[in-house]
């Protein structure tokens, strides 16, 4: 276990995840902005149970998530255009373009993360979330990147408090 106590039943990890995701959830609720998307849950978990230095993992999280969101947004805009609905548009030409955008975005994310040496599996969830149009505005890319940065700031503070 990441906490070092085999008898805590995951309570320390769960509390750490609440500290990381709770403020992001409240911020998302209060603003209606996509600062918290499902892909940040696995990123937060990776931070809590890390088995390597914080800086290395934080670099992977930030770069991986940024690459994922940027290439997904770019692929959708290039191959589909603005998405007005949520989800995959089945049995339509637009839906077929959206499927192509998923494939292009996954390939581009893999190459980008590999070049930056920042392979972060949860970023692939971000790729799918954005290629499905959840959310779909350009400002949402920046807001989500802000959410990733906020997650890392919360984890840095949590790590310092635990170490003190």
Residue pair 18/133 in contact (Cβ under 8 Å)? The answer is: no
What pLDDT digit, counting tens, does each position of 59-85 carry?
999 999 999 999 999 999 999 888 766
Residue pair 63/120 in contact (Cβ under 8 Å)? The answer is: yes
Position 73 in a domain: yes
Position 82 in a domain: yes
Domain of 75 in residue numbering reads as 11-163
pTM for the predicted model, two decimal places: 0.88
Position 26 in a domain: yes
Task: Go through 36-49 and write b for each residue having 16 or more CB atoms within 10 A of its CB, e for each that does not.
Answer: bbebbbbbbbbbbe
Q: What is the pLDDT of residue 5?
A: 57
Position 3 in a domain: no
Report H helices in the chain.
11-31, 40-48, 54-79, 93-115, 122-131, 138-163
| 25-34, 58-67, 114-123, 132-141: the lowest-pLDDT one | 132-141
Q: What is the pLDDT of residue 113?
A: 98
Give the count of domains, the chain.
1
Position 30 in a domain: yes
Position 38 in a domain: yes
Q: What is the pLDDT of residue 1?
A: 45
pLDDT confidence bin for 139, thresholds 50/70/90: very high
Q: What is the pLDDT of residue 82?
A: 80
What's the rounded Cα separation, in Å, for the pair 98 and 15?
38
Q: How far apart are the first and last CA of the chain?
A: 20
Position 142 in a domain: yes
Position 5 in a domain: no
Average pLDDT of span 51-58: 92
């Amino acid at each position: 276990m990441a906490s070092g106590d085999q008898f805590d039943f995951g309570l320390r990890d769960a509390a750490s995840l609440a500290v990381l995701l709770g403020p992001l959830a409240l911020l998302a609720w209060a603003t209606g902005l996509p600062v918290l998307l499902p892909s940040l849950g696995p990123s937060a978990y990776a931070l809590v149970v890390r088995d390597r230095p914080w800086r290395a993992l934080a670099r992977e999280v930030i770069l991986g998530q940024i690459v994922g969101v940027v290439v997904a947004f770019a692929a959708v805009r290039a191959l589909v255009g603005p998405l007005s609905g949520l989800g995959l548009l089945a049995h339509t030409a637009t839906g077929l373009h959206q499927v192509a955008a998923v494939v292009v975005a996954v390939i581009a994310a893999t190459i980008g993360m590999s070049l930056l040496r920042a392979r972060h599996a949860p970023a692939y969830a971000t790729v799918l979330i954005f290629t499905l149009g959840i959310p779909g505005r350009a400002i949402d890319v920046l807001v989500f990147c802000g959410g990733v940065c906020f997650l890392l700031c919360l984890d840095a503070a949590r790590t310092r408090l635990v170490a003190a």
